[in-house]
Structure 1
């Protein structure tokens, strides 16, 4: 038995007037009804034809992308060419194809853990290399003027801010920043 509520179209083809109203009046209430009706159908469509790139998250993203395009392009809908549901599902098909293409281009998802080596993966050569780098850095810092080395140690080793170093040393903030800049510049040439 079909609903007698006149605010919700009973048949899919009856969505055309709603879509036209959205295009003309930018009616958010009408769009909400359209969204509530089509979102679950688009999500199901997104999950159909399971592929390696189809996931519930991708289906949700598809719904959002399609419905945003429906809102933005509602003025392009022509009732003489297609029903509202046909027009919306054409957008859904095109968006789904775009999602799959994009997924094929970026087959591998990377995380920060993939880019930075784990501490437990360090072998004897890695720790030897790390010790050499540390030795070179300490040697270079030892060649800095004492006031620059002091400011660098407070900021980079003790983790203090420029303002905290200025307050602790009684130096103007600009002097602290200048010493850091000069020290870093000299370290670049030494390393």
Structure 2
């Protein structure tokens, strides 16, 4: 009987390896630092520090997002309205809903990296908060420069600043697991999706 159970467990592990992995940072509760202040650019740097998205970022952000997934173009008006909602929602709000951070190249202000973080307000854990990092992408021409780490770290810093936020989670392809593990994430369960 024990060998049969061991065989079932191995099959289950193989099946899980084929699925997209959900990765999580688990942290013990601790005081939250203030939201990060805008960093100053070092002289001669190729990229500016992460900042919130602006309406002017549309022409370089949308093509960047297409390197990640299907991202049909949106009108200037729709993009500006969404950015206004994101910035209003996160501007000193005690209960922010979402932030989108971008990294511009210094030479032309073209967006070369981005990520977003969304907050889920729970009834669990004494009404705690869970942060979801999504839409992490670095332009093909800028990969290997540490920009992926930079935008994910910016999202995690935002999560640390939200009172009651106890974990940061994200979904990633199997090929990206090692990258997120280097940033402190660990495998946790399996993602499921239903596209509407």
Give the structure-1-normalised TM-score: 0.20
Relative contact order, higher structure (CA 8 A, sep 6+):
2
> Based on CA coordinates, which of the two structures has the bigger radius of gyration?
1
Higher helix share: 1
TM-score normalised by length of structure 2: 0.20
